[in-house]
Every structure is written in C-alpha cells, then in structure tokens.
Chain A
Amino acid sequence: MNRQRSSKAAAFRPAHELRSRDFEPGFVLTEVATSRYYKTGDWRSKRPVWDNNRCIQCGLCYIYCPDMAVRRRPDGFFEANLDYCKGCGICAQECFTKCIEMVDER
C-alpha cells in the first residue's frame, strides 16, 4: 500500500491550469472518479425534455445514458444533469413511450 503514492492530498486543478510537472509518471490518476471535474454539458446542442404525463418511470433513459447524466428524482420521474448531458439523444431514441423530446439549445 505504501508503494502506491497518492496525490489525493493535492488540490484538484482544472485542466487548463495543469502544468507539465503536475502529472504522475505515465499520466496515472491516483484519485478516482475525476471525470466529474470535466463538465461536458457545454458540448450540447439539444437537451432532453421529459413529458411526465406519458412517462411510465421504467428507467430506460437512466440505464442507457452513456454518461450517467440522467438521474431519478425523489418523485420517481427522471431528469438530465445538464452539467454533463452532451445531448446525444439516446434516451429519447430508447424511450418506450417517446416522452422525451430533444429541444434545441438557444
């Protein structure tokens, strides 16, 4: 265990502030789940919008989302985490009841 050095103590730096000397050899990441620091939501040109009158709460959108950007609300319905949703539209494509509409971002 002590051979495994940890950079967890180091404060997280956003990508555009990283210097060449900040990397572990081989660009190894010793901190887990760092992809949450990279908010990919700004790639999006369309956003998913749920019509909860037709939603049967089956959770297919949650299962299919490749970025785990769909979350279940306490009331059982679903919504996108727009910090990470890239607007790929897979949720809308797979939805049984076609209750998800991809709406243009403006």
Chain B
Amino acid sequence: MNSTRKTIPIPPGHRRVGIEDSHAAALAVKQCNVDVVAAYPITPQTHIVERLAEMVANGELDAEFVPVESEHSAMTVCVGAEAAGARTFTCTSSQGLILMSEIVYITSAMRLPCVMILANRSLSGPLSIWCDHSDVMSIRDCGWIQTFAENGQEVYDLVFHAYRVAEMPEVLTPVILNVDGFYLTHVVESVLTAEQELIDRYLPPYRPRVSLHPDRPVTMGAYGVPELFTEAKKNQDEALKATYPFILKAWEEWGDLTGRYYHPVETYRAEGAQVLLLTMGSIGQTAMVAVDRMRDAGVPVGLVKLRLWRPFPFEELRRAVSGAEHLVVLDRAVSYGGPGGPVASEVRAALYGQPGAPVVHNFIVGLAGRDVAVEDLATIVQKSLTRKKPPRQEDYILYGARE
C-alpha cells in the first residue's frame, strides 16, 4: 500500500467506475431517459450508439432505436420525433455530419431541442478517421449551442447539461456536445457516475412548447417569403444569444448537485501570466501539464480553455485574457486561404480594438490526431515569445508541417 496516495472522496450520490468514455456518454444518454435514438455508425462515434442499441435491445432503456440508412435520415428522424414531443439523441462524426448538415440547420431554426454528440474527426480528404475540429467548424454557423468536453468526466457531465439547457422553455435550442474522437471516445477513464435519483432531480421531463397532434394542428417548417425572412433570422439570432444566461444557470445547477462546476471560459494558472495558451477540447489536458512544467522552469505561462463555442462568450474571453502580453491560440482546423484557424480568427475579432489586448499568435496543431506533446506546447510558447516581428492579424503557422 502506497501511503502517499491520496484518496479522493466520492461525492454523495456518485460511484467511481473505470469506463470507456463512449460508454460513459451512452450511460448518460440512457440516464436522460431519451425516447428516440437515431444514428448511423461512423468511426469514432460507433461505441456510443452501439452501446445505446445494446441497452435498448436488453430492455435497459425504453426507447425507440431507429437504425437509419444515413446521417441525413438520422437527423431527420430526430426532427420528426422532437416535433411530436419526444426526447431524442443522435451522434455522428466528420463525413456523417457533413451529410446531415442540411437538417442540422433546420433543427435549430425550428427550435427543436435535439442533443447530438459529435465525436470530432477530420474531414476527408485525404481520407482520415482521426481527431481534429474540421467537422464542427464546417457547421459553425448552424445555430446550435456548442460545447466542448476535455475528458471522460466532462463528456458524462455535459450530456446532462445539454438536455437540461436545450429543453428549458426559454431556450428550446439544440445542443452539440463536441468530444474529441478517440481521445474522448475510446479511452478508458475513471469517471464519477451519478445515481439516477440525482439525475432526476436535475433533469425534469421534457415538456414541448408545441407538438404535432391531430387534435391541435400547427404548422412547423413553413415557407418563409423574402418579406419576412430577414425578420425570421433576426428572431433566431436573438434567441440563440438569449440562451447564454440559461447555459450558465444549467451549469450552476449541475455544480450545486455534484460539486463539478463548468464555465464558458475556464482558466488554469492564468494569474500573472505573461503568455496564455488557449485551447478547446482534450488538448487542454496536455496543456495543463505543459503549463505546470513551464511554470516550474520559470516561464510565466497560463492556460485559457474555451468550453462554450456558441453562443461565443465574448466578455468572459476578454476578461480571461486581459493582462497577458501574448495569447497563443491553438486550432485544430484550417481555414484555407482565410484569416487563420477558426478559433483564432474569432478570438482576434473579440479582441479587436480592445486597449491593451494581448498579441494573438495562432498555431494549427493536432490535425488528424497528430500528437501534441507537452514539449510541442513548450516549443510553441518559446516560438511566440522569441518572434522578431509581431504577427499580423491573418498570420498562422501549421505547426510541425515538414516543408
């Protein structure tokens, strides 16, 4: 027995289990007591829906599992089921998302609170099954609430948050939970799972505002003539922005129940940092180790983690980075011929014209699952600090690319 090992207390209403992240996600979806699951298998999402199919087949989950013929149909089934008042779940990756994207945009316009887990994977080509963020960035403007998880525990927790916030009467907006493919789908981790009683206290039954019923006819998905289309889009944009306080409220409630609090922008050892790294997704875990090592070596570096991608947390981001001289934004997607990675270009827009804003450096890393090691992050920080000329707004570096 190693006497120096710390025992981390298990919070009330929880169990600590070793579980594959995908299975933790499936367990969470089951605990949300969904009515309909519609999905088409695609790596690296497969284990999540396979497990759900198993649960339905075994009678552990009383839901309709619709084995659709494509992702386009998966999203369509969810739209139809939500419109009839059901709680739904779908899950996809990469090419699957691209195929379903037509309906993804319609889902948010119709304010149907579907929940999707997106196991982030690069878009072809070249053909790849590995993790990056090119898939989610392709539907950046789809009008869904978009959150990012960093480890298995967060994947599990954020599923409940997704349903809680999506179905709030003031919100009624679908949620995409981004989980890095393989890192947050195929890894077995130690996860605190919650008792059903605790989940039931957090997530009330779904009460749709309107639903399709022969006795109460309504029209959903009507044609929008040019005379009112602009007003409709204004309505949708305002509605997504107005979800912000409710996203925070749902995280607050989860924190009060479980002790695990989440925020749109989170920081790690950012106090007094001259340089801040900014990450989204699982790289944040590596970055924390990198920050520890660099701090030990006397480099005044900290970390900012973006958890909420839409609606974009402008104020929190500005607060989190104020005081730093350099902000090193790590992207996992390329905007070919554009102003850097998608995260960096939005961060630069958020900081534009702000007095005393840090210099923004942009490195594109981890494409198609390429390893981003602690040493890489130290190199990236060094490169940013020793740059002779400050970067222009549109500068970015595809880190580690052999030329």
Contacts and interface: CB of A to CB of B under 8 A. Distances in A.
Interface string A11-35: 0001110111111111111101010
Interface stretch (B158-166, B215-223, B331-339): B215-223
Given A26-B112, A26-B220, A30-B210, A15 B235 contact: no
A29 B109 contact: no
Interface in B104-157: 109-112
Contacts of B112: 26
Contact of B235 (A4, A20, A38): A20
Interface residues of B, number: 29
A36 interface: no
B107 to A, nearest CB: 10
Contacts of A27: 109-110, 220-222, 224, 232, 235
Contacts of A23: 231-232, 235
Nearest to B217: A32
B232 A20 contact: yes
Contacts of B213: 4
Contacts of B209: 3, 5, 25, 28
B227 interface: yes
Contacts of B218: 4, 28-30, 32
Interface string B290-323: 0000000000000000000000000000000000
Nearest to A14: B227
Contact of B109 (A18, A22, A26): A26
A22 B232 CA distance: 9
B239 interface: yes
B208 to A, nearest CB: 8
B235 A29 contact: no
Nearest to B213: A4
B225 A15 contact: yes
A15 B220 CA distance: 17
B109 to A, nearest CB: 7
Nearest to B237: A20
A38 B226 CA distance: 12
Given A18-B231, A20-B231, A32-B217, A26 B225 contact: no
B80 to A, nearest CB: 14
Interface in B52-106: none
A32 B219 contact: yes
Most buried by B among A16, A19, A25, A30: A25
A15 B222 CA distance: 13
Contacts of B234: 20
Nearest to B222: A29
Interface string B179-222: 00000000000000000000000000001111101011111111
Nearest to B230: A20
B235 A21 contact: yes
A16 B216 CA distance: 28
B214 to A, nearest CB: 12
Interface in A82-98: none
Contact of B210 (A15, A18, A19, A28): A28
A1 interface: yes
Nearest to B170: A25
Interface string B226-256: 0110011011001100000000000000000
Contacts of A21: 235
Contacts of B231: 18-20, 22-23
A18 to B, nearest CB: 5
Contact of A5 (B111, B210, B227, B239): B210
Contacts of A34: 219, 222
Contacts of B210: 3-5, 24, 26, 28, 30
29 contacts: A1-B215, A1-B216, A3-B210, A4-B218, A5-B209, A5-B210, A15-B227, A18-B231, A19-B231, A21-B235, A23-B231, A26-B109, A26-B110, A26-B111, A26-B220, A27-B109, A27-B110, A27-B220, A27-B222, A27-B224, A27-B235, A28-B110, A28-B218, A28-B219, A28-B220, A29-B218, A29-B220, A32-B218, A34-B219
Interface of B: 109-112, 172, 207-211, 213, 215-222, 224-225, 227-228, 231-232, 234-235, 238-239
- What 4 A-B pairs come out closest when comparing CB atoms? A26-B111, A20-B234, A15-B227, A29-B219
Given A16-B227, A18-B227, 6 more contacts: A3-B208, A5-B209, A21-B235, A23-B231, A25-B111, A26-B220
